């Protein structure tokens, strides 16, 4: 079944967006009922896994993430492990996309590339029609920004501002940077994000 899941896209909340998702209205891949203290989380699967684990095909969903499709099943986990399990799901999907050696979507590519002029915006989501896609992109980008912050706080701050649709000129003003150094820092921040994306 191919679906677009209606999920919140508010990224202002500092908590992980996916922590608020409730997948308990789905059915587990093996149709077993949830036990007390369990919840369902998405897992990326392929057809070999479906066959090997005798998964119920009616319980699978195809999620569209940019130009790519991901086959998703739902597995029970302890409620206290939900956040980690969902984080692992998104990491797995990101690695799966990276194995194609292409960018997930135009908007991710735009985020990782230098804006052309001082007035151009650094980042916009390519599509607002697919909430699941928007959430996935926001999570991928948020993870990248956290990694960049850990390596270089200045570059992390630049990426934060790009995510908030600051123009290049606004970034230079916000960070008190001269034009040549500021442009070099913006490009370096995006280059580091691209490197981390394809390494993870």
Instruction: Kindly list the domain boundaries of the chain, sorted by start residue.
Output: 2-81, 106-199
Residue 88 burial class via C-beta count within 10 angstroms: exposed 0-12, middle 13-18, buried 19 and up: middle
* Dist. CA 131–CA 166, nearest whole Å: 23
What pLDDT was estimated at residue 187? 87
Q: Name the least confident of 10-19, 113-122, 156-165.
A: 10-19
Structure-model confidence comparison of residues 70 and 98, the more confident one:
70
Q: Residue 104's pLDDT band (boundaries 50, 70, 90)?
A: very low
Q: Residue 35's pLDDT band (boundaries 50, 70, 90)?
A: very high
- Mean pLDDT taken over the chain: 75
What pLDDT was estimated at residue 137? 67
Tokens representing 50?
Answer: 């479906």
* Dist. CA 87–CA 90, nearest whole Å: 5
pTM of the model: 0.47
């Amino acid at each position: 079944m191919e679906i677009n899941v209606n999920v919140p896209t508010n990224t202002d909340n500092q908590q992980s967006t996916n922590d608020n998702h409730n997948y308990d209205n789905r059915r587990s891949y093996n149709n077993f009922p949830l036990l007390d203290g369990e919840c369902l989380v998405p897992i990326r699967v392929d057809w070999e896994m479906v066959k090997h684990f005798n998964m119920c095909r009616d319980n699978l969903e195809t999620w569209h993430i940019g130009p790519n499709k991901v086959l998703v099943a739902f597995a029970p986990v302890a409620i206290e492990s939900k956040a980690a399990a969902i984080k692992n799901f998104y990491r797995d999907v990101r690695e799966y996309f990276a194995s194609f050696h292409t960018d997930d979507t135009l908007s991710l590519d735009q985020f990782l590339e230098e804006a052309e002029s001082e007035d151009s915006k650094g980042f916009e989501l390519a599509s607002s029609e697919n909430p699941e896609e928007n959430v996935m992109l926001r999570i991928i980008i948020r993870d990248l920004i956290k990694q960049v912050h850990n390596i270089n706080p200045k570059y992390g701050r630049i990426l934060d501002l790009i995510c908030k649709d600051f123009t290049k000129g606004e970034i230079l003003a916000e960070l008190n940077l001269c034009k040549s150094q500021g442009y070099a820092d913006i490009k370096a921040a995006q280059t580091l994000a691209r490197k981390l994306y394809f390494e993870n």
